[in-house]
Amino acid sequence: MADGYKVHIDKLDVENYRTWSSKIKFLLTSKDLWNGVEDPVAHPAQSKKALSIIGLNVEDHHLGSIEECKTAKEAWDLLEKTYKSKTNARKMQLRQELHSLKMKLGEPVTMYVGRAKDLYRDLVATGFEMKPDELAWSVLAGLPKSFSTLRTILEASESTISSVDAILPKLLVHEQGFEESPKEKGGGGSDSAVAYVARRKGKEKVHGKDESRGKGPKCYNCGDFGHIARKCSKPDRREHKPEQKKGGKPPKGVAFSVIEGVSTDEWLVDSGSSQHLTGDKSLFETLEMFGGSGREFTFGDKGTLWAEGSGSVELRCATPTGESLVTLQNVMYVPGVAANLISVSKATEVASVLFKENGNCELEVDGEVVLVARKVKGVYVVNRAEKETCFLVKKPETAELWHRRLGHAGYENLAKMVQGDLVEGVGVKPSAFRALKTSVCEPCIMGKQTRLPFPESDSVSTEPLELVHMDVCGPMPVASVGGSRYFATFLDDYRKLSVVVPMKQKSEVAKVTEHVINRLELQSGKQLKSVRTDRGKEYVNKALEDVFGDKGTVHEKSAPYSAEQNGSAERLNRDLEGKTRAMLEDSGLAKELWAEAVVTANYTRNRTPVSAHGRTPWEVFFGEKPNVGHMRVFGARAFRHVPKQRRRKLHPVSERCVFVGYEPDSKAYRLLRDRDGKLIISRDVIFDEGIGGDGVVELGSDPTDGSQTAEGPGAQVHTEAHEGPKVESLRESDAAARAPEDPRPPRALSQTGQNEG
């Protein structure tokens, strides 16, 4: 067959396998290459060419798999297996997609029905039995409100709906004849920006005949159909049109652009507009473009513009009590419209709109004012928050900032960490840390003790878990948020990895110890040989001796009144206490958050080098450098994104919190919410590390019940999850995100300070 024509096929991506495979098969058949796919052994030359064509027509993320295929059949079968899986999961996915099928805004009926048929064929191909009439009912269920009359007629009809093809002609007739025109042009002389959204394109009468049907929008520059004026290639003749007659009103969308003192960047509250409108594409957070020629908007009887898409826009508004972030949904993108409009009729669907005696317009949600618009020259202009108050703050990274992020670790230790390339994610030079050695860090002075060091033990381990040092620190002066007064520490003598577990009572030691040992053994693949403790009652008891006896672990006890024999554990406790005090002093948070601080301190300790081996305990234990790019200053101001499922329309999309740690077994942050003092777990957080909590956040009431309440995807409201015998996973893969890239190892064993590096 001659190749004198060009064929364009969209490359294979995640959503177009059915159409792609059909077109590629037609292409290969037209080139007499399909037999190379069916029988590559008999047709090796055709198979080689077919493989090349397949490889050239897939997106880049498929190339790695296809490059390993030696024949066209291997590549074809691989892609078919990927996208035509017959597993139960695939069946469930397709059934859910068909069940939730909806006709998109601006989507032609033929395209909508085609999507439904593709899903039906894919579902049947998995072996799932589905009758054709079920597809027809799914299609009817997904039609928009504009088809409600036709849908009611079909549902009430006594005739059987056998298939989607049986109802397709009726859908097409309805689509072609449909024209939504509120009040049937009864708005006559209105100058408001009323949006007749569903008005069909090309419905204008020319010489009494509907000559424009199917030709697309009319260009008001040249008079032709199929394009709009701003995309017209012919000379612009619009500026030569006669000026408006004296006394006539221009459409409000035009009038706004010439109001003195009102910028075109402002948002205006308009009681006449039936839709939110803007002509600035850059304002959209999300934007879905319409297919074809778009949607026609009539501005009274004075003119027409075309919407090319719709989406959501976020406005940061100044309110009497501060700021709010308002999300406008279904905002129409109308190039050429001279003002940004907030529709009162749309706003009243989710909020109360109040026009005050002082001339302001206010939007309230649940009694809270979320938007205020002031009256200027007869229009209501939204009060926007100053740009400099926006919380999207990225603080420049400095040595001082990293010193605070890493739990007030020593400057020389941090310099060696960067100089030795021991971690990833720190963008500061070693010299910057060393330059701070002559400076004063007040939280370090206030929080860290200076005492004579305990002498080193003669014991030197030669392998992981040959010896683990254990100790209990407490009681603390105040109970933590979760009711803890103590914390247990565990230190691997060989790798220097540490674990910290807050406890309410010393009697929890046996249970905590058993759990930690099991996790350490599981993650390291080694068996614990011996432990070293003091002779406190929490360690010398039958329950703990039974744990050690069952595991064959030797329990070494220091001599009475000789704490220096367990010097490693004592130094660990001292360092953790000092860092905890420094972090609480730096943040200004309540002392009841000491448990959050001590676990966070230990988290940083495992990711900074220790003097015993000059590397981070994380790398020595797991064999890879930790990435600390996600780490933030304890107590920093944080703005947590509220999941869509947990907020109402026009409610702020973020809430103010304080950062208090990293969630174990999860790539998420731990936050203290301002409004109720609850602990929140969230991945989606924006930080301002130049602002601390200032100690003003009140802790939530009744925080010791240990309950957990779901608050949306990836979020929980609960008490101190750190506390109790649960130990987080020792290993999680790194992930670049706005959340922690490697969660804390088993309740972090912490060891920083002069003796550890």
pLDDT in tens, 711-722: 222 222 233 334
Q: At what angle do helices 17-30 and 72-83 cross, to 10 degrees?
A: 160
Indicate if the pLDDT at residue 481 is higher than 80: yes
Confidence band, pLDDT 50/70/90 cuts, at residue 546: very high
Average pLDDT over residues 635-651: 76
pLDDT at 225: 65
The Cα 172–Cα 492 span in angstroms is 73
The DSSP output letter for 517 is H
What residues contact 251, with CB distance under 8 A and at least 6 apart?
191, 193, 299, 300, 302, 303
Q: What beta strand segments (E) does 409-547 contain?
A: 468-473, 486-492, 498-503, 530-533
Q: Is 637 helix (H, G, I), strand (E, B) or coil?
A: strand
Position 498 scores a pLDDT of: 94
Query: Residues 18, 20, 22, 25: is their CA dihedral positive or negative?
Result: negative
Q: Using 50, 70 and 90 to split pLDDT, how confident is the model at 513?
A: very high
Residue 292, phi-psi category: left (phi > 0), alpha (psi -120 to 50), beta (remainder): left
Query: 176 near 146, Cβ under 8 Å?
Result: no
Mean pLDDT along residues 262-273: 80
Mean predicted lDDT score pLDDT of the chain: 73
pLDDT at 131: 81
The tokens of 464 are what? 């992981």
Residue 107 to residue 709: CA distance in whole angstroms: 41
CA distance 367 to 347: 15
Q: Is 563 exposed, middle or buried (0-12, 13-18, 19+ CB in 10 A)?
A: middle
Does residue 487 surpass a pLDDT of 90? yes
Per-state percent for the chain, helix, strand, coil, to nearest 5:
35, 20, 45
First to last CA, the chain: 75
Per DSSP, the three-state class of 40 is: coil
pLDDT for residue 660 is more than 90: yes
Query: Is residue 727 pLDDT above 50, yes or no?
Result: no
Q: What confidence category does residue 157 fall into, taking pLDDT thresholds of 50, 70 and 90?
A: low
The C-alpha atoms of residue 296 and residue 366 are separated, in whole angstroms, by 35
Q: Report whether pLDDT(637) > 60.
A: yes
Mean pLDDT of 120-140: 81
List the strands of the sheet with 379-382, edge to edge.
284-289, 309-319, 322-333, 277-278, 340-343, 267-270, 379-382, 368-376, 361-365, 352-355
Query: Which has more pLDDT, 168 or 505?
Result: 505
Q: For the segment 10-64, what is each residue's pLDDT rounded down to a tens digit?
A: 888 766 777 788 888 888 998 899 989 999 898 999 999 999 999 888 887 777 7
Q: Of 738, 719, 731, 421, which Cα lies nearest the Cα of 596?
A: 719
| Sign of torsion over alpha carbons 359, 360, 361, 366 | negative
Lowest mean pLDDT among 505-509, 615-619, 743-747: 743-747
**For a pLDDT cut of 90, what percent of the chain falls above it?**
18
**pLDDT at residue 388, rounded to an integer:** 33
> Using an 8 Å Cβ cutoff, are 517 and 534 in contact?
no
Cα–Cα dist 415/407, whole Å:
15
Per the CB < 8 A criterion, the answer to whether 464 and 494 are in contact is yes
Complete edge-to-edge strand list for the sheet that includes strand 669-673: 685-692, 636-641, 654-662, 669-673, 679-682, 716-718, 708-710
Q: Which residues contact 263 (CB under 8 A, 6 or more apart)?
A: none
Which three-class secondary structure string do you get for 66-108? Answer: HHCCCCHHHHHHHHHHHHCCCCHHHHHHHHHHHHCCCCCCCCC
516: which residues sit within 8 A by CB, 6+ positions away?
488, 490, 499, 501, 727, 746, 747
Q: What pLDDT score was predicted for residue 471?
A: 94
Indicate if the alpha-carbon torsion angle 343, 347, 348, 353 is positive or negative: negative
Distance CA 26, CA 20 (A): 10
Q: How confident is the model at residue 6 (pLDDT cuts 50, 70, 90)?
A: low
Does pTM top 0.85 for this prediction?
Answer: no
**Mean pLDDT throughout 286-309?**
72
Which residues neighbour 632 within 8 Å (Cβ) at sequence distance 6 or greater?
Answer: 405, 638, 659, 669, 687, 689
Degrees, nearest 5: CA angle 720-724-727: 100
Going by C-alpha positions, the residue among 499, 505, 503 that lies closest to residue 469 is: 499
Q: Two tokens at 339?
A: 């003002």
**DSSP 8-class letter at 701:** S
Alpha-carbon distance values, 3 to 7, 19, 30, 53, 390 (Å)? 10, 22, 9, 14, 59
pLDDT bracket for residue 504 (50, 70, 90) = very high
Tokens of 361: 């317009």
Residues near 340 by beta carbon (within 8 Å), at least 6 away in sequence: 264, 265, 266, 267, 268, 277, 278, 279, 280, 283
pLDDT band at 108; cut points 50, 70, 90: confident
705 or 439: whose pLDDT is higher?
Answer: 439
> Are residues 602 and 708 in contact, defined by beta-carbon separation less than 8 angstroms?
no
Report how far residue 566's alpha carbon sits from residue 455's, in angstroms, rounded to the nearest whole number.
Answer: 9
- Of 212-216, 574-578, 725-729, where does mean pLDDT reach its minimum? 725-729
Query: What pairing do the DSSP bridges indicate for beta strands 303-307 and 309-319?
Result: unpaired
**What span, in angstroms and rounded, lies between the C-alpha atoms of 179 and 608?**
68
Residue type, 284: F
Give dist(CA 148, CA 153) in Å, integer. 9
